[in-house]
Structures are given as structure tokens and as C-alpha cells.
Structure 1
Amino acid sequence: MTEPIAIVTGATGGMGREIVADLARTHHVYALGRDDTTLAELGALADVTPVNTDLVVDLLDAADDQSCLQTLIDLQRVDVVVHAAAIATKFSVETATVADWRHAMDINVHVPAELTRRLLPALREARGTAIFINSGAGRGSYGDNIVYAATKHALYALADGLRKAESKAGVRVSTVAPGPTDTPMLEGLYAQDDKEYRAEHFIEPVEVARAIRMIVDAGESTQITDVAVRPRIEVGDR
């Protein structure tokens, strides 16, 4: 395969689907997710290979040479990896259990760290780009959403340290931090609070894909390290 290669986790989520569709215009995309219906839809696109995987089980728990992801890990070059897989459930310090903390950290931090580690030789070979989808919660926190915010703070540290460690190897590292975006994840958080959900108040997922495209298309002499994507009118100002 001579065309550029991209790997997208969380490909069946609201942002992930748009990211896959956009990258597939110029890359062969491996779309990683767990929803069979959405994976089938993505697989119908040209230059998309759907991969059904539970990343915690297949990446964190499986032996290095026994993961169903081994075909991807054995790729000789990877031009782009987008870490879009994440979970968000509201917890306070009082309500979160150890299991809640571990589950969130596994998916939101440990998975992108481990997948990046396993793909580093291929990213270095391609002088590729690793993109971490963060959140406005990565720079602040709320009393009822501490677990999610803590994972996103950790993801910033992961991306920042990786960027410094890999710059001489030619790997570019970027963080894209969307504000409230019209996705099933956000709708679920609103449902937890029994609040009205109005999709028109939030960022359209395609805008996140466009931000990623800007990063991928950056010139050879630069890297775009941090992109904040905000709604035109902040939700709190409506």
C-alpha cells in the first residue's frame, strides 16, 4: 500500500465518523470502533477498512503478539493516528469508585498512550502525526465531572511530553480540544442532568474533522500543537 495511512480510534462516535470520512479523501483509513452498524457504513466508503475492537481488551489486556490489532501494529509506516475514543460520565470525588477511575483512565489515557507506543516505529518511518482529541475540560474542571476532566488533563500531559520526546524523530504531535459538540456523548451528559439538549447550540462534528485536516496538511517545517474548537456562541452565554 503506497497511499498514506491513517488510524482513527473512536471511529463510530459522532466526531470519529466525520474524521474518518474526511481523512479517507487522501488516506487509507483504518477505522477502529465497536458499533457494527456504523463500522459497516464506514466500510462502504472508499479507502476505509473497519476494525471492530474493544481497545481495552485487545490492546491493554492482550499479550503483545496476540492482539487482534497486530496487523495494524505491524504496519511499516503510519502517517496519521487520531485518538478519538473516549468515554464521559459525570462523577464527583464522592460518587466515583476506584473502578470508575480505572475505567475512564484506561480508555481516555492508557489506550492512546499504549497505541502510540506500539505505533511509534511506523510513525517515525512516515514522519507522521499523532493527534489527541481533548476537551475544554482538559483545562478546567467541575465538581460533578472530575473523573472525565482528570483524564483529559492527563491527556494534555501525554501529548505535550510526547511532542518534545519525538520532535527529533520527525513525529508531529497535536491536541485538538473541542468545546461542546453535538455527539451522543454530550447528549448522554445532558441526560444525566435531565437538561434540555439543543443540538443547534453545539459544534457540528464536521468542524472537528476540518480542524484535524488543517493539522494533517500543515507544511513540513511546522507542527500545529494546540487547536481549540469553540462554538460561535458559548453555551453559557445563550
Structure 2
Amino acid sequence: MTTHRPVTLITGASGGIGSALARALAPTHDLILGGRGGAALERLCAELGAQPLPLDLTRPETFEGALAGLGRVTNLVHNAGVVDLGAVAGQGHVVWTHTLAVNTVAPAELTRVLLPQVRAEQGVVVFVNSGAGLRANAGWGSYAASKFALRALADALREEEAPHGVRVTSVYPGRTATPMQEKVRTQEGAPYTPEAFIQPETVAATIAFALNAPRDATLPDLSVRPGPQAARPHEAGA
């Protein structure tokens, strides 16, 4: 196991939870921040002294080329995701294919490609799941299916990689005050009130705890729910 600073790769790094996690880890981790590219990712990398990693999560066949020569990777945090609400009767295969590609297939392929580095460091793989990965409500079929599948991926990986010293954690946040949640509330035709939701820094602190936990502990599943002070809307996921 390495004695250097851990190198942590975060997907969806410029989003609400991703950027909060990057800032939380920056003092003690070297960071590789994955995203679609653009000004937001560039600014975050410049702020934190992180390495940018442009990735198109809809094209997992490009990952091996994009990751060639990357070097050390201790931890891998799968944080990127997409959501499009709609009834099963109203969502065609294009929505399902896109949602499953980004939320499930991309994490599986990215994990496969990076496992040699993570094994060498006896690192941690974190899957940022959702409350929708534990319960599927009406209108959430495609997203929940992708998150149920992500849970299965994490559970299988945990058993497979235990002999290699790799720990695997699934984190299930409730509704979190992020741009993604704002989009969800718009799709639901409801107001977006950030104070009613978990703050992204709280979810980031939970993920950081899983990454930094002493090696005599394994944290398979962590659920994060709004505290009693929050005036919660109906909690379906995201």
C-alpha cells in the first residue's frame, strides 16, 4: 500500500456534490477531476491544483484511450449521473439507453479500466447512488433502474475485490441541494428550495469519511437523509 498522498479520481467533479468533495479532499489528496470539460471544470482544477480529466460518459469505449498513462489512482468516486423523470409508458428506449449508459455502464467500465491501479494502492471505490437506488417510485423508473443496477455492481465488486484489499462503498444521498436537484424539481413542477434539502458539503463529508476510514473498517452502505430541521418534500430520490 502506498505511503504517498492518495490520488482520488472523481467523476462529475464540477457538479454540486463533486465540487464539494473535491474541496473537502484537496488538503490531503491529490485530485483527478473528471467531467465533460468546459470552464467550470477548468476553474475548479485551477483553484485546487487538480488534474482535469475530460470524459464522455456516453462513450465508454473511449475510456482506455483517455486513461492511458494516467499513473497512480488510489480511490475512484463515481459521482456523475443523469436523471430524466417520466412514466414507463412515456419514456422511449433513447432515455433508457442514455440513463443506463451514464449511470451504470460508464461506472462499470471506468472501474474495470482503473482496477489495476486501485488494487496496487489497496484503495476505495465509492459509488454515489441515490434514495432511488433503494426504492422506485412512480415516474422514476429509468433512473431508479440505473441506480438499482449500480447497487448490484457495487455489491458484486465488493466481494470480488476484497481479496485484493480494495474496499467498496455505496452512498445513498436523499435529495441534495444541487443543480441536478433543481432540474428534478422543475420536472416535477415544484419549487426548488435549497434549504429543504441536504447540503452537498454534508454528502461530501460522508464520502470523505468512507475514503479516509481506517483499514480495519469496511463501510458497505451509507445512507444520508435530511435532518429533522429540514422542511422536506416527498422524497423520491436524486
Q: Do residues 207 (structure 1) and 202 (structure 2) align?
A: yes
1:119 maps to a residue whose letter is L
The answer on whether the counterparts of 1:91 and 1:146 sit within 8 Å (CA) in structure 2 is: yes
- TM-superposed CA distance for 1:237, in Å, is 7.4
Two-structure CA RMSD over aligned residues (Å): 1.8
Residue 25 of structure 1 corresponds to 27
Superposed, 1:1-238 pairs within 5 Å as 2-57=4-59, 60-62=60-62, 64=64, 67-72=65-70, 75=71, 77-233=72-228, 235-236=232-233
Change (3 A) 1:143 1:80: same
SS in 2 for 1:50: strand
Distance verdict in 2 for CA 1:225–1:109, change over 3 Å:
same
AA at the equivalent of 2:209? M
Q: 1:68: how far off?
A: 2.4
Whole-angstrom CA distance in 2 between matches of 1:63 and 1:184:
26
- CA shift at 1:4, angstroms? 1.6
Q: Distance in 2 between matches of 1:5 and 1:170?
A: 16
Structure 1: unaligned runs, 5 residues or longer: none
Cα deviation digits, residues 83-118 of structure 1 (max 9, x gap): 001001102110111111110000000010100011
Return the alpha-carbon distance in structure 2 between the equivalents of residues 82 and 170 of structure 1.
17
Q: Tell me the alpha carbon deviations over residues 110-166 of structure 1, each in whole angstroms, 9 at most, x when there is no partner.
A: 010100011111111000000000000011111111100111111111001100111
1:132, 1:144 → 2: CA distance?
23
Q: Is the 8 A contact 2:63 2:110 kept in 1?
A: no
For 1:34 and 1:237, how far apart are their aligned partners in 2?
Answer: 31
By how many angstroms is 1:193 displaced?
Answer: 2.1
Q: For residues 167 and 20 of structure 1, what CA distance do their matches in structure 2 show?
A: 26
Q: Secondary structure at the match of 2:189?
A: coil
Range with bigger deviation, 219-228 or 103-112? 219-228
User: TM-score, normalization: structure 2?
Assistant: 0.92
Q: Which segments of structure 1 move beyond 4 Å, counting only runs of 4 or more?
A: none
Equivalent residue pairs, number: 231
SS at match of 1:71: coil
Amino acid at match of 1:81: L
- Structure 1 distance, partners of 2:133, 2:101, is 16
Gaps of 5+ in 2: none
